[in-house]
Structure 1
Amino acid sequence: MQASPPIDKEALHTELKRELRSDFLQDIRIESGIDSSGEEAVWVWLVVDEGAMGSQKNKSKVKDIRESIYRTCSERAPRRLSLYPTG
């Protein structure tokens, strides 16, 4: 029996694309599955323009984007998700 995803990926993708507008953000990729601890997990990747992270302004914007992702995932999750930043 396969576990159901902890979040609706399509709905999350649609909401994040609408919410996260940035001139350097090309795409958002979302995957779900089981993490190394055996818990259900959601991974969100931001695909950005090459060289975009060389700008301090863009680095600051990514912090805002990360907070938006955390908030949106927490609101959409059917139960509490632990959020782990990377990078």
Structure 2
Amino acid sequence: MTKRTKTWKIGEYCAGGVIRAKSCGELVKLEVRDYSTDELLNHAAFGRIHERQIFEFLTTFTTPYYADNVLAWIRQKVWGLA
């Protein structure tokens, strides 16, 4: 079971400015954090079958472009999909 973490510092295109993805096996925990204080604003955990829910969660806080970038990283690095 590999653990991976990736942080996107998006800035003004994201509420809070920072999205962090942490994985443990097939599970992914997404955190939305404040850019200046690193305060946790919101978080959610998802499994492999929740691709649509991940996209909906992310688009609540950022643009579809950045939501696609985060989801592409999750597909490739966490789930091993192309």
Q: Same fold (TM over 0.5)?
A: no
- Select the structure that is richer in strand: 2
TM-score of the superposed pair, with normalisation by structure 1? 0.32
TM-score of the superposed pair, with normalisation by structure 2? 0.33
- Select the structure that is richer in helix: 1
